[in-house]
Amino acid sequence: MRSFEAINYSLRPNKNVERKLIARILNTIGKNARFDWRDYRYLGLGSMWFVDFIMMHKSIGINELVTIEKEHSRAKRVSFNAPYSCVEVKIGMSTSVLRELSWDNRTIAWLDYDDVLRPYMFDDLNEIIVKSTTGNVVMLSVNAEAAQLSITENDEIVDPMTVLKGLVNATYIPTDAEKRLSKNQFPALLGEIMFNFMKSSVLNTATGLDFFPLFNFAYSDGSKMVTYGGMIVDTNDERIVKGLSLQSSFEFFAHHEQFEIQVPQLTFKEKLELDKRMPCAVAPKPEDLPFELKPSEIEAYRMFYQDYPMYGEFHP
């Protein structure tokens, strides 16, 4: 079964919040005329749902949107579900499509994979970076479950570090990685690997360019996922972005440690009850609520109650 047939991408609350946090940072950067997103292209993997495309068009203001879909057998369905006339559908393997695309416009590219780590994902990322110019934004999302490193060959368990080195060039793997392959530590390790890859790839692309991290999220709506991303900058653009003081404005900014988004699953009635207590500087205590929630769940809701999605069924 294809992932779009198993997952309704619009119904994942933590992923939903992640998109909105990305939009917050992009909108802050976009207030500087140097980064007018209306002149940019958005490149992503819209699948059948196009949730990120709708955000990039409505919230960020991008009018040139390109989606890559690998399933030739679903080409008509992808085109049918494209939400706007300005969405261009490219059918084919991402690696091939990326090589054929023109790169005349500055681009926000989000390789939002829901699969486990695969070498081609870094190949795709590198293909984007080497064709990028200053001001481009790149993001990569992958499954971050440590269990993907537990495999057997010929009835023998393969060393997880050997598996990891088969997926990622050892150059980008931190020296202490072997101690960080547990379920709880692997997402942060993966974020660090992504940073090392993006930084190195940009530095090797052209003299005078560097990589400026913006996003380093972990979240779970079932499987643990990691999203890492940032902007390719020259000296002038780096000075402008640094001047925005994103680090002091957003505690989820990538220059802090990896930020875990873990908003709770709430009923509509529970949400309304919590909303009566928002905004607040300190999260309500669990004993003050008429239902059970963990302190960490209440704190997560306090932080992102304005971004928390609610879903419903309508009967027209």
Convert the pLDDT of each residue in 222-250 to its tens digit.
Answer: 899 999 999 999 999 999 999 999 999 99
Q: Is residue 134 over pLDDT 80? A: yes
Cα–Cα distances in Å, from 304 out to 118, 142, 210? 32, 23, 31
Cα angle 14, 16, 18 (rounded to 5 degrees) comes to 70
Instruction: Give CA–CA dist 109/90, Å, rounded.
Output: 14
pLDDT of residue 194: 97
pLDDT of residue 315: 73
Instruction: Give CA–CA dist 4/114, Å, rounded.
Output: 10
Q: Is residue 5 over pLDDT 60? A: no
pTM: 0.91
Would you give the distance in Å from CA 25 to the centre of its chain? 13
Tokens of 61: 């203001």
Q: Is residue 264 over pLDDT 70? A: yes
Tokens of 37: 């997103």
Q: What is the pLDDT of residues 179-191, one digit of tens each?
A: 999 999 999 999 9
Four-CA torsion 118, 62, 257, 252, nearest 10 degrees: -140
pLDDT of residue 81: 95
Averaged pLDDT of the chain: 92
Q: Report the percent of the chain where pLDDT is more than 90.
A: 83
Closest alpha carbon to 2 in 87, 74, 94, 90: 74
Q: How far apart are the first and last CA of the chain?
A: 31
Strands 87-91 and 259-261: unpaired
pLDDT of residue 311: 79
Four-CA torsion 195, 197, 201, 203, nearest 10 degrees: 50
Q: Is residue 8 over pLDDT 60? A: no
| pLDDT confidence band for 9 (50 / 70 / 90) | low
Residues 6+ apart with CB under 8 A from 73: none
pLDDT of residue 155: 84
| pLDDT confidence band for 300 (50 / 70 / 90) | very high
| pLDDT confidence band for 73 (50 / 70 / 90) | confident
Mean pLDDT over 277-305 rounds to 95
Residues 6+ apart with CB under 8 A from 146: 160, 181, 182, 183, 185, 186
Instruction: Give CA–CA dist 261/141, Å, rounded.
Output: 14
Cα–Cα distances in Å, from 120 out to 44, 123, 127, 154? 16, 5, 10, 25
Mean pLDDT over 295-315 rounds to 89
